[in-house]
Structure 1
Amino acid sequence: MYTLASILIPIHSKQHLIRDTELPIYDLAYDSRKIRNAEHSLFFALKNVRDGHTFIRDAYQKGVRAFVVSREDIDVVSYPEASFFWVDDVLAALQKLASYHREKFNKPVIGITGSNGKTIVKEWLTQLLQEDKKVYQSPKSYNSQLGVALSLWDLSDDYDCAIIEAGISLPDEMDQLEAMIRPDIGIMTNIGVAHADGFTSKALKITEKIKLFKHAKDVIFPSRYGFEVYLPAGSRTFTFGESDRDDVKIGRIEERRDGSSSIQVSYRQEIATFTVPFIDKASIENVLICLTTLLFLGYSLDAIVHKLGRLRPLEMRLQLKTGRNNCSIIDDTYSNDLASLQIALDFLHQQQQHKKKTLILSDMEGLNEKLQMKLISILRQQNLTRIIVVGKTLKYLQDKLQIPLLFFASTEELVRNLREISLENESILLKGSRRYHLEDVSKLLVAKSHETVLEINLSALEHNLKVYRSILPSNVKLMVMVKAFSYGSGSYEVANLLQFNKVDYLTVAFADEGVELRQHGIDLPIMVLSPDEQVFESLLTSSLEPEIYSFRILKALISFLRMRKEKAFPIHIKIDTGMHRLGFLPDEMEELVTLLAAAPEVKVKTIFSHLVAAGNEQHADFTKQQIALFSASVDRLEARLGYKVVRHIANTAGIVNWPSAYMDMVRLGIGLYGVDMDEKMVLEKVSELKTTITQIKELPAGETVGYDRKGVLHRPSRIATVKIGYADGYSRRFGGGVGEMSINGQKVRTVGSICMDMCMLDVTDMVAHELDEVVVFPDLMEASRRIDTIPYELLVNISARVKRVYFYG
């Protein structure tokens, strides 16, 4: 914890106005839209795309009372409770504060840089280490001047080590990153031509990146890049390669028929051979960087080989999609540099389903003559059928390649002429920088999906989160329920979005769900509902916090922690105020607090209960009774525990209807996913279950449809069979005309019984064709009423075999 007084020196304030020197600061803010703990936030008015000074009023109105600014014209009279720190450079002040905080972290810090593979190596190392260590990693690709600073702020001694990624695109950027990260151990992944236009030579780029290791004791890297000549004097190196001088010697690397690679390595007279599910050079090099790092950290070769076998490809932007006219589309339309082009071409080469291979390539900015020759060399090495070029700067390829080329000045021109280009029975790689919008071409080339999918609009989910946050006081924390596969919407995909938007807590139903979130980079506090004794080990190793609801489970946990010599393990106490499902009864408070007070192995993080009927006005008196009973019970517990805890009782319905129940934190569930049981909130639909028509039949009156001949036709009918059944989560209760779907905007009813994988619809009174898209639940609330249930059941029952497709917009 920091106070305003303690922040004064590290940010190098040249002038200040402090109203409350002892005001605690927990959060750093730079975006007024994402402030959650306003009273204890320090707002940095960054001058970036938008001037942060223009959002000071918004932040102040949300409760922020401390600001770091650079402009002299701020009317401080308008902010009578606010403290201000004036600095020359706001971003530099933020970086200095991050550096100051980093110095307090006394555990090993690993710094990663390089041209490519930083994020993958970071993620894989975290995955490999977190089985027996608490690893902090900079989130996602937070490797920029701002991202690194924000990452370091979350460092704490709760972790055994930290892995921080650093990325640069211009000279002199690494000095600031190094001053913040100060890695004890350095990892240099590789050197390529990413950001080539920012550096006059490859040597200059290496020199700049190597600055990250100015004070590092040891540096790990592939020896083939020759980084050692650029390292500071006295740096110790730990390398892998094919030379006897390497610490880790790489032997045979063999591609297997199943798409994996067999790799032989030797280390200190030990030889081991292992298999990884990759054959591309970039992934193999990243695996070897991870192996070498673990050897350096003291893991045995046998133990590492066992760990590496569990690595899987990370989800990256390059996607393989089914295209029209029997084509395969490799969509990599977000970046375009030589290194990533080579990786994408390697992937194209792996596609053996078509003999013909086409590259659609946008212009590459910033290529000097040497890099132009490198591009020509790369393309000459490929067995390409043709290249389609978008832009005007790659005309020099015309006379340098023996491959047919087509040139288009713009993406729009290519789109206009796409029908005249014969694209069929081939693999097509789209490789382009963002500004060329080659995704527009991808949309035209990709075949319409004819499978059952659940489309999830992440921007709608983010909107709904903002709607609920907008009615909460700024000092109320937010716990979000991601149990039951996030109400059918996914797991870490949703949790990642919530983490980005800085919710305070996540809640899962089972420990396995929490473990999966940890494995995918979720570092938010996670509460596990109703755990049993079999999952205590998972709770401990994955930093998961259990709900404690009975004396049996509490005593068992204390005993387990005592054997493990753990202290102050975070727990959440559940009080039964009327739900009568789980929890301690109010008259058990004395016995409970006596047990807790005598158990240093645990520390109560929150105490909570569950409102039975917060959305039902008929039970308002009972809800008031629950709130009062809960508050009295927590008061008794806090008085004996001797410390404050976070209180929460309001669920989604409580957020909408009971502001008096907000307390310290609220729990947001089904409302986040676009379902408001009270229909009072303006929410956006998050998910839509879709399928397609497989076949349409013309049947005469008197015929029957489906099992047991339950679907009797009383008129000549057109019956459409669609690809969804009860194995996908479409309940059998929707059979016999109860279920209603939508085709081309028109609603139609089910016919006969619901089958395991399919069901039938009556499309007699509308125009419908095979392969038409079908919306399964045109109105989720109405669908739930038809089978006497609630939307929760419909959402959580959507089978995991139904493909989830995520998109923004």
Structure 2
Amino acid sequence: MNLGLEEILKALNGKVVVKGREDFKVVSTDTRKIEVGSLFIALKGNNFNGNLFIKEAVEKGATICIVDEIHFQSAEITDSTIIKVDNTTEALKDLAEFYRKKLKIKVVGVTGSTGKTSTKDLIAAALSTKYKVFKTKGNFNNEIGLPLMVFQLDETYDVAVLEMGMSDFNEIHNLSKIARPDIAVITNIGISHIENLKTRDNILKAKMEITDFLKEKSPLILSGNDDKLVTVENSNFNVIKVGLDNKDYCIDNIKFLENETQFNTIIDGEKVKFTIPLLGKHNVYNTLLALCVGRNLGVSVTEMQQGMANLEATSMRLDIMKKDKYTIINDCYNSSPASVKAAIEVQKNLSSKRKVAILGTMKELGLESKSAHFEVGKFAKDNDVDLLLLTGEFTEEARLGYGEKNAYIYTSVSELINDLDNKIKIGDSILVKASRSMKFEQIIESLDKK
């Protein structure tokens, strides 16, 4: 990384308390993963305090440590520099912001209630033939994760596609301040996190914080399929709404095949065909966002068609696993009303004898929780789900929406797993969908062994 000690002190308003080596290659916040030549930032949380592990960090090869508490003797520190700051969490963000400003690369910021990760993957694919692209890894999309992604950038990259998540006001603002996006993308405005934000209008307001550090006339790319985003008008930016009829980036002639989706769209007034190795209409809308980003960065239609063939999708997100006895749809990473419905629609287009949905709790819906789970149960029934297996909270509401016949409630994931042999049949397609915290990958592992 191209950062000197004086720049670090300037960015953090820090003070050197122990003088030693100044060179470093990577930034780390976890002593378990420290490499030789690391800059270690000692974060604090409710159940941990990185300041207590400075001696261990130095022994493992940290050449610079940033602390906000002193729990060591200077004599214990050999050949490493220790910098004292007021708050290490703020220091992490401030240093990432300072480093981002030094980088001469384009940044695409992506947010939305659902579809952020898929859209990030699709944007990276659309750009991949023309540019060297970095994209957010896993779920490193919050005020700790995003700075760590920024620290992985260097001048060898042309474009960074950075995902931004939130659960309340001001969080996207802080992420945008660090990332300084050149292009902003919003996928949709759902009811995820409505427990904190109360209304979808407030969710829209929070998502629009992605523009707080967007330069004037920069592209703000929105899904025209969303009733809230379609109302956005802002003369400060180049607002582009994709998916609207009879305009560039509209949708025409969708075909859902066994392992891919084909569709036509209009780009620069010309009708073109795209094939993506993903299923579901929601992924077509996400692809339109990616294509719009590509054209704004000068990628040709042919280059984007080639790039889509190189799509690297994040695991556990609508991963379709063909087995000898049945088909598993692994979507265990996140769960919301929109994403559950999208997954059920994908399952509906798969060929199978029966369609089984194993669903867990959709989190952070507040007062909307009961109605949302009822609605998802009803949607499953209306879209040809033959068997519904439920565990977690609000299962009774989901069963009422579906109807009591062929809907079963379990008190735990392990109880559900133990009953799979009694419920699953050869030839079934099985959708496994829940928020990550419910650990539904245990169900995937059990099904994978059968």
TM-score by length of 1: 0.50
Q: Is the 8 A contact 1:210 1:231 kept in 2?
A: no
Matching residue's letter, 1:386:
L
Q: CA deviation digits over 1:95-153, x for unaligned, max 9?
A: 11111111112332221222333333333333332333333334444322222212222
Q: Which residue of 2 aligns with 1:770?
A: none
**Gap change, CA 1:94 and 1:249, over 3 Å in 2:** closer
Q: Which residue of 1 aligns with 2:429?
A: 427
Q: CA deviation digits over 1:568-589, x for unaligned, max 9?
A: xxxxxxxxxxxxxxxxxxxxxx
Q: Does 1:271 align with 2:268?
A: no
Shift of 1:319: 4.3
CA distance in 2, matches of 1:322, 1:107: 40
Q: Which residue of 1 aligns with 2:396?
A: 395
Q: Does 1:222 align with 2:219?
A: no
Shift of 1:280: 0.9
- Counting only pairs closer than 5 Å after superposition, residues 594-633 of structure 1 correspond to structure 2 as none
- Counting only pairs closer than 5 Å after superposition, residues 347-496 of structure 1 correspond to structure 2 as 347-354=346-353, 356-380=354-378, 381-402=382-403, 404=405, 405-418=407-420, 421=423, 423=425, 425-448=427-450
- Counting only pairs closer than 5 Å after superposition, residues 303-702 of structure 1 correspond to structure 2 as 303-304=302-303, 306-307=305-306, 310-312=309-311, 314=313, 316-317=315-316, 318-321=318-321, 326-354=325-353, 356-380=354-378, 381-402=382-403, 404=405, 405-418=407-420, 421=423, 423=425, 425-448=427-450
**Gap change, CA 1:92 and 1:351, over 3 Å in 2:** same
**Gap change, CA 1:304 and 1:327, over 3 Å in 2:** closer
Q: Does 1:284 align with 2:279?
A: no
CA distance in 2, matches of 1:290, 1:440: 33
Unaligned segments of structure 2, at least 5 residues: none
SS at match of 1:180: helix
Shift of 1:251: 4.4
Q: Is the 8 A contact 2:110 2:164 kept in 1?
A: yes
**Gap change, CA 1:173 and 1:419, over 3 Å in 2:** same
- Counting only pairs closer than 5 Å after superposition, residues 191-206 of structure 1 correspond to structure 2 as 191-206=189-204
| Count of aligned pairs between the two proteins | 439
Q: Is the 8 A contact 2:183 2:220 kept in 1?
A: yes
**Gap change, CA 1:128 and 1:82, over 3 Å in 2:** same
SS at match of 1:106: coil
Q: Does 1:46 align with 2:43?
A: yes
- Counting only pairs closer than 5 Å after superposition, residues 710-725 of structure 1 correspond to structure 2 as none
Q: Is the 8 A contact 2:129 2:306 kept in 1?
A: no
CA distance in 2, matches of 1:54, 1:422: 50
Q: Which residue of 2 aligns with 1:67?
A: 65
1:187 to 181, 185, 188: 185
**Gap change, CA 1:199 and 1:23, over 3 Å in 2:** same
Q: Is the 8 A contact 1:254 1:262 kept in 2?
A: yes
Matching residue's letter, 2:7:
S
Q: Does 1:23 align with 2:18?
A: no
Shift of 1:419: 5.3
CA distance in 2, matches of 1:117, 1:148: 17
Q: Is the 8 A contact 1:4 1:18 kept in 2?
A: no
SS at match of 1:84: strand
Q: Does 1:89 align with 2:87?
A: yes
CA distance in 2, matches of 1:427, 1:134: 38
Q: Is the 8 A contact 2:146 2:164 kept in 1?
A: yes
Q: Is the 8 A contact 1:115 1:194 kept in 2?
A: yes
Matching residue's letter, 1:17:
V
Q: Is the 8 A contact 2:11 2:98 kept in 1?
A: yes
Q: CA deviation digits over 1:517-572, x for unaligned, max 9?
A: xxxxxxxxxxxxxxxxxxxxxxxxxxxxxxxxxxxxxxxxxxxxxxxxxxxxxxxx
Q: CA deviation digits over 1:465-484, x for unaligned, max 9?
A: xxxxxxxxxxxxxxxxxxxx
Shift of 1:365: 3.3
Matching residue's letter, 1:330:
I
Q: Which residue of 1 aligns with 2:142?
A: 144
Shift of 1:288: 1.2
Q: Which residue of 2 aligns with 1:477?
A: none
Unaligned segments of structure 1, at least 5 residues: 449-809
Q: Is the 8 A contact 2:105 2:159 kept in 1?
A: yes
Shift of 1:210: 1.7
CA distance in 1, matches of 2:79, 2:175: 34
CA distance in 1, matches of 2:98, 2:304: 38
**Gap change, CA 1:395 and 1:421, over 3 Å in 2:** same
Q: Does 1:113 align with 2:114?
A: no
Q: Is the 8 A contact 1:111 1:183 kept in 2?
A: yes
Q: Is the 8 A contact 1:221 1:239 kept in 2?
A: yes
Q: Does 1:130 align with 2:98?
A: no
CA distance in 2, matches of 1:398, 1:119: 30
Q: Is the 8 A contact 1:117 1:286 kept in 2?
A: yes
Identity %: 23
Q: Which residue of 1 aligns with 2:298?
A: 298
**Gap change, CA 1:65 and 1:105, over 3 Å in 2:** closer
TM-score by length of 2: 0.85
Shift of 1:228: 6.4
SS at match of 2:374: helix
SS at match of 1:37: coil
CA distance in 2, matches of 1:304, 1:322: 30
**Gap change, CA 1:400 and 1:142, over 3 Å in 2:** closer
CA distance in 2, matches of 1:377, 1:206: 22
Q: CA deviation digits over 1:579-610, x for unaligned, max 9?
A: xxxxxxxxxxxxxxxxxxxxxxxxxxxxxxxx
CA distance in 1, matches of 2:424, 2:100: 57
Q: CA deviation digits over 1:593-628, x for unaligned, max 9?
A: xxxxxxxxxxxxxxxxxxxxxxxxxxxxxxxxxxxx
Point out 4+ residue stretches in structure 1 off by more than 6 angstroms. none
CA distance in 1, matches of 2:400, 2:120: 42
**Gap change, CA 1:200 and 1:289, over 3 Å in 2:** same
Q: Is the 8 A contact 2:188 2:229 kept in 1?
A: no
Q: Is the 8 A contact 1:323 1:447 kept in 2?
A: no
CA distance in 2, matches of 1:34, 1:130: 29
Q: Which residue of 2 aligns with 1:751?
A: none
Q: Is the 8 A contact 1:387 1:403 kept in 2?
A: no
Matching residue's letter, 1:151:
M
1:103 to 71, 90, 101: 101
Shift of 1:236: 1.8
Provide the alpha-carbon RMSD of the alignment. 3.1
Q: Is the 8 A contact 1:331 1:430 kept in 2?
A: yes
Matching residue's letter, 2:411:
A
Q: Is the 8 A contact 2:109 2:164 kept in 1?
A: yes
Q: Is the 8 A contact 1:276 1:311 kept in 2?
A: no
CA distance in 1, matches of 2:258, 2:131: 33
Q: Is the 8 A contact 1:253 1:264 kept in 2?
A: yes
Matching residue's letter, 1:287:
T
